[in-house]
Structure 1
Amino acid sequence: MIGFTDNYQDRSTHEGYQFEFFCERCGNGYTSTFRRSAVNFGGKLLRMGGDLIGGEWGRRASELGWDANWMRDGTRGPAWDKALNGAVEEIRPHFHQCHRCGEWVCGQVCWNDQRGVCVNCAPKLDQEIAGIQARAQVEQLNDKIRQVDWTEGTNYGTTAVGRCPSCANDTGGGKYCQHCGTPLAAAPEAKSFCGQCGTKLGAGAMFCTGCGSATS
């Protein structure tokens, strides 16, 4: 019987056998040593000999060579089983199967030696403490920063204008454009009311809606 795992991929080619094994938690892994296929090598020799000999015997040798390749590609027989078994035994020391959740994990990162299970089932306490402390620092910084008044000098009582209607640059968030000095619609003193009738003017209005007077 061959020990079988579900965290591998077959990377075998026409030349031989090779397998990749992955940690089912972090995705890291290892590749087994490449094992050349004896069947494929023998098939090559037969084809080469057939080409050199020529004639009926040469043709038959070449056919046997191609048959050997076909057998190598079309079946997962004893040679493939032996190669997989060797790869499993080679890579096994780098992995552990958690008997709590059944996952195959790498010993270097995702295995908790003290608990005998994976870190998903029993996190490493030093890493957990470090993570909790970092999250607590961020939360405390958020609380302290919120206690500071960051709105001083910011005109938040009127509609903000992000792009200047005159020069099309960023306004800077003030009452006047930082690039060209154009009064912005968000500034309270910038054409807020009609000078003739006192009607409140809309942003960018050229004429008063109350009396029809020009705003400029």
Structure 2
Amino acid sequence: MTALHLADEGEAADLAAFLSRLIHYDRGAAVRLQAVGTALAVFGRPPSFEVLAVRAVRLAKPYENGLDATLDVTVSAGELLESVEESAATAGVPTAVTGPPWAGVLPPRGGWRAENGLPAPDALRALVRAGVTEFRSRTQELAPEGRTRAELDRIGREIWSRTVGRTRLPVRAVHAAQSLGFLRPGVPVVLVATGAWLRLRTPYGSIAVRRAGLGALDVSVR
């Protein structure tokens, strides 16, 4: 198994935490890994949020495997998590798996521009808390016979599809950032866009979403 040498124990711990959260939402989660030089990007798609989560990981030295100086592979998130050695700041690259459809579609690498209208980080976290509270309140008010999966999903879609502030970003993207550990107190949050893609960026990771849904036009297939 090819070894990835992470920058330090903190990077290894954050990678492990990200993978653990993905697996919490999908036991069979897959992630796409792309490494160039000392930068490793880990892409995942937690099904509950319908967004693309991206975790950037710093490597201690450029990736290499024989003559290969780049890495682009889809692997099991669970197997990758098992390979992480936090004390040694290393991780192994598991055997490739047949990736889900989203793994073949990634946001463009360049062309991103800043978007205005995003509320402050504290307001974003409050927005998520309000959404969770509203969901619980509305579902608890349902009669037992009306508390079906279809009705719960309908209420959830209504709440999390609302847009944030004066932006086009759906609230579910902020909810995903909070749930995956990207939206933390005291860290900056910015919103960028390119084409129909929106990306909520923090120092701990980012959430990308397309208004038309993953797999539509203006995407990069790599």
Bucket of the pairwise TM-score, normalised by the shorter protein: under 0.3
Higher CA-based Rg: 1
Q: Which has the higher contact order (CA 8 A, sep 6+)?
A: 2
TM-score by length of 1: 0.21
TM-score by length of 2: 0.20
